[in-house]
Amino acid sequence: MRAALAQAKKGLGKTSPNPAVGAVLVNSNRIIGRGYHRQAGGDHAEVDCLRKLAGPVPHSAILYVTLEPCSTRGRTAPCANYIIERDVRSVVIGTIDPNPQHRGRAVKLLRAGSVDVTTGILEQDCARLNEAFNKWIVTGEPFVIAKCGMSLDGHLTRPPGESQWLTSESARAHAHKLRAVVDAIIVGAETIRQDNPRLTVRSGARRVQPLRVILTKSGRLPRTAKVFCNSNRDRTLIWRNKTLRSVVRDLGRRKITSVLIEGGGDVLSQALDQRLVDKVQIYIAPIFTGGSVLAFGGKGAPSTERSIRLESMSYKRIGEDICVIGYSKPANNSTSA
């Protein structure tokens, strides 16, 4: 299953609105076939894997797949049927399809076709791989990641006239990788005015650039900004006088499964106040700056009990900076300090 996960990761950022899925075919403890889903509309991982095999599938072979095979016809034929047609006798599934309309259906089809099915192998790893798809397919809303680089006292900027960067070049390179796996990037108008970012993926293979989403109250944006002038200008959308929640919901209706909020402080604060954040990825620099631009300001929680709490925390040192990653707990799991 770990080998299948390695295959699935090759499709991250390229398959939306479909999930990233990997598959391997094993016979006599040796991998004889590998496959993954490359893009929406293309072969699914199971088909990609089995079609590479010359000749019939050995009866003793086991197909490992990270996500329950599809059971209905969409852009492609049902993978469950193809598995049965290829006379695969045994299938091991990492996690069940989270789509309520399809959940468990392929397992029943395969077993009805005399296929031995095992489920729940490395289930958490397989589910976490598609955390954005899992939320979107159930709720219709994208998975929201809040990312920023801030000082130790929680600010986003240096004093006026100095470099805009707080974190190191290595930390910024690490953070930049997030853009390659999301469907859209959200920033506020002030970020466009002050930083003039391109908001593009500039390393690694990607099928299309993420949408650049700009929130503005006045509508006054510099027409010479990089997001309006480069080759990806048609991937830029502007929302004026709209709440962040309404924008996120609209993006979900556009089949955007994942959103990265890059700033500035006003947009990050809105995300916190409106409880839209599913995951945080924060880079903390060992510096105190003071100033008025807080990373997460806003109204604040009405009580400690109702504060947003994080789980599944991880911490990584990158140069002198610390990267903190965590997931928002469901509200009904919060407890007082």
CB atoms within 10 A of CB 259: 28
- DSSP 8-state symbol, 154: S
Cα separation, 237 vs 184, whole angstroms: 10
- From the list 46, 68, 141, 262, the catalytic residue is 46
Q: Can you tell me the distance from the alpha carbon of 261 to that of 144, in angstroms, rounded to the nearest whole number?
A: 7
Copy the structure tokens of residue 326: 């965590």
Asked about 169 being catalytic, the answer comes back as: no
With contact defined as beta carbons under 8 Å apart, do 281 and 165 qualify?
no
51 CB contacts (<8 Å, ≥6 apart)? 35, 43
DSSP 15: S
d(CA 186, CA 268): 10
- Distance between terminal CA atoms of the chain? 39
Contacts of 172 (CB under 8 A, 6+ apart): 149, 165, 283
Task: Give the count of beta carbons closer than 10 Å to the beta carbon of residue 152.
Answer: 13
Contact 162, 291 (CB under 8 A): no
| Residues taking part in catalysis | 46
